[in-house]
Amino acid sequence: MGNNIKEFREKKGWSQSELARQLNVHKSWVHKLETGKKEPTLRMALRMANILECRVEDIFFTI
Protein backbone atom coordinates (compact mmCIF):
# COMPACT_ATOMS: atom_id res chain seq x y z
CA MET A 1 0.00 0.00 0.00
CA GLY A 2 2.78 2.44 0.84
CA ASN A 3 4.33 2.01 -2.57
CA ASN A 4 0.98 2.76 -4.20
CA ILE A 5 0.59 5.99 -2.25
CA LYS A 6 4.14 6.99 -3.12
CA GLU A 7 3.59 6.23 -6.80
CA PHE A 8 0.42 8.34 -7.02
CA ARG A 9 2.09 11.14 -5.05
CA GLU A 10 5.09 11.15 -7.37
CA LYS A 11 2.85 11.11 -10.48
CA LYS A 12 1.49 14.44 -9.24
CA GLY A 13 5.05 15.69 -8.73
CA TRP A 14 4.47 16.16 -5.01
CA SER A 15 6.82 15.74 -2.09
CA GLN A 16 5.69 14.02 1.08
CA SER A 17 5.36 17.48 2.57
CA GLU A 18 2.96 18.58 -0.16
CA LEU A 19 0.76 15.51 0.23
CA ALA A 20 0.78 16.08 3.99
CA ARG A 21 -0.29 19.68 3.43
CA GLN A 22 -3.12 18.58 1.14
CA LEU A 23 -4.30 16.05 3.75
CA ASN A 24 -3.74 18.43 6.67
CA VAL A 25 -1.46 15.96 8.47
CA HIS A 26 2.20 15.98 9.49
CA LYS A 27 4.83 14.93 6.93
CA SER A 28 5.98 12.13 9.23
CA TRP A 29 2.52 10.54 8.95
CA VAL A 30 2.86 10.36 5.16
CA HIS A 31 6.37 8.91 5.58
CA LYS A 32 5.02 6.23 7.93
CA LEU A 33 2.28 5.35 5.43
CA GLU A 34 4.77 4.99 2.60
CA THR A 35 7.12 2.84 4.66
CA GLY A 36 4.35 0.56 5.93
CA LYS A 37 4.60 1.64 9.57
CA LYS A 38 1.08 3.03 9.58
CA GLU A 39 -2.19 2.36 7.76
CA PRO A 40 -4.80 4.96 6.92
CA THR A 41 -8.33 4.83 8.22
CA LEU A 42 -10.95 4.27 5.56
CA ARG A 43 -11.96 7.93 5.85
CA MET A 44 -8.37 9.06 5.27
CA ALA A 45 -7.94 6.60 2.39
CA LEU A 46 -11.02 8.11 0.75
CA ARG A 47 -9.59 11.62 1.20
CA MET A 48 -6.26 10.49 -0.25
CA ALA A 49 -7.94 8.89 -3.25
CA ASN A 50 -9.83 12.11 -3.91
CA ILE A 51 -6.72 14.26 -3.58
CA LEU A 52 -4.50 11.89 -5.58
CA GLU A 53 -7.24 11.45 -8.20
CA CYS A 54 -7.38 7.67 -8.02
CA ARG A 55 -9.76 5.02 -6.76
CA VAL A 56 -9.55 4.02 -3.11
CA GLU A 57 -8.93 0.44 -4.27
CA ASP A 58 -5.79 1.66 -6.03
CA ILE A 59 -4.37 2.78 -2.68
CA PHE A 60 -4.88 -0.58 -1.01
CA PHE A 61 -4.12 -3.01 -3.84
CA THR A 62 -1.08 -3.34 -6.05
CA ILE A 63 -1.36 -1.41 -9.26
Which residue from 59, 63, 18, 15 is spatially nearest to 39, judged by alpha carbons?
59
pLDDT at res. 63: 55
Burial 29-41 (b: 16+ CB within 10 A, else e): bbbebbeeeeebe
Per-residue pLDDT of the chain (63 residues; tens, 9 = 90+): 999 999 999 999 999 999 999 999 999 999 999 999 999 999 999 999 999 999 999 998 875
Query: Is 52 in contact with 8 (CB distance < 8 Å)?
Result: yes
Predicted structure pTM score: 0.89
pLDDT at res. 62: 76
